[in-house]
Amino acid sequence: MTGLPPTAVPADSSEPPLPYADRPVATAPGHWVLARAGKRVLRPGGAALSTAMLGHARLAGADVVELAPGLGRTAAEVIAAAPASYTAVDRDPDAARRVAAVVGDDGTVRQGEAASTGLPDASADVVIGEAMLSMQSDKAKAAIAAEAARMLRPGGRYAIHELGVVPDDIDDARYTELRKDLARAIHVNARPMTAAAWRQLLEGAGLVVEWVDTAPMALLKLSRNLHDEGLGGFARIARNVLTDAELRRRVMLMRRTFKRYEHDMMGIALVAHKPE
């Protein structure tokens, strides 16, 4: 979709397929593999960190833009907070259709690029992005942050929830090893960053960081999944993983990698505002 103007995506009464549904489990991006397994909360720091971030973003009565909204879980929370408007932008047509079905008449979903949304300057009070900057190169991260800042009105907030690494002075060799193993497990060239680097990214876009919080990166831990997905959701995931050998192999590979680096990774959320 690069270079094309964003287009509105109508809601679909039937559930669209998941992105990459036509790709084998062995090679599909990890987050969409977990979605196939039935997982609905795909954020590094879990649902609680997302909820805290949205609270600090101050959504009520705001014009909200969400970049790469995924399955629409956060979109539903945003709509429940009674914003003045909600607009989502996603490059993947299947993801866009899924989110359009979630928000219905309460929002607008456009197919387009996070770094070039086509939305007007100073048209948003809040821009949200979760678990998407971590998957981008340093150059792409900066371009997306700059696009968010461009869309914000003075005083507007940019809220992100991403994958972090610790400590801020993490050994270079350890960080390189982590990135390589993570890429092998999730089939995405993820580039998580330290808290200091995430702050620097937002400040480099001309924003002022006003809130930061972290949570363990426990995406595939039992306690996190029971909390985030509920008993019924957890049972759905367990059933799908236990009855599909290929899916089970892939999920267990990701779980072993997350376990190996559980003390090196975290979920991190930040809210920054555009100066008046």
Strand (E) positions, the chain?
A: 7-8, 63-67, 85-90, 108-111, 124-130, 152-165, 193-194, 208-216, 265-273
Architecture of the CATH domain 7-14+23-273: 3-Layer(aba) Sandwich (3.40)
Collect the ranges in the chain with pLDDT lower than 70. 1-14
pLDDT 10s digits, 88-124: 999 999 999 999 999 999 999 999 999 999 999 999 9
**What pTM was estimated for this model as a whole?**
0.93
| pLDDT at residue 29, as a whole number | 94
> Which phi and psi angles does 11 have, rounded to 5°?
-70, 150
Q: What is the mean pLDDT of the chain?
A: 94
Alpha carbons 225 and 54: distance in angstroms, whole number: 20
- Kindly provide the b/e burial profile for residues 50-59, where b requires at least 16 CB atoms within 10 angstroms of the residue's own CB: bebbbebbbb
| pLDDT at residue 17, as a whole number | 84
pLDDT 10s digits, 251-273: 999 999 999 999 999 999 999 99
| pLDDT at residue 4, as a whole number | 36
- Kindly provide the b/e burial profile for residues 114-141, where b requires at least 16 CB atoms within 10 angstroms of the residue's own CB: bbbbebeeebbbbbbbbbbbbbbeeeeb
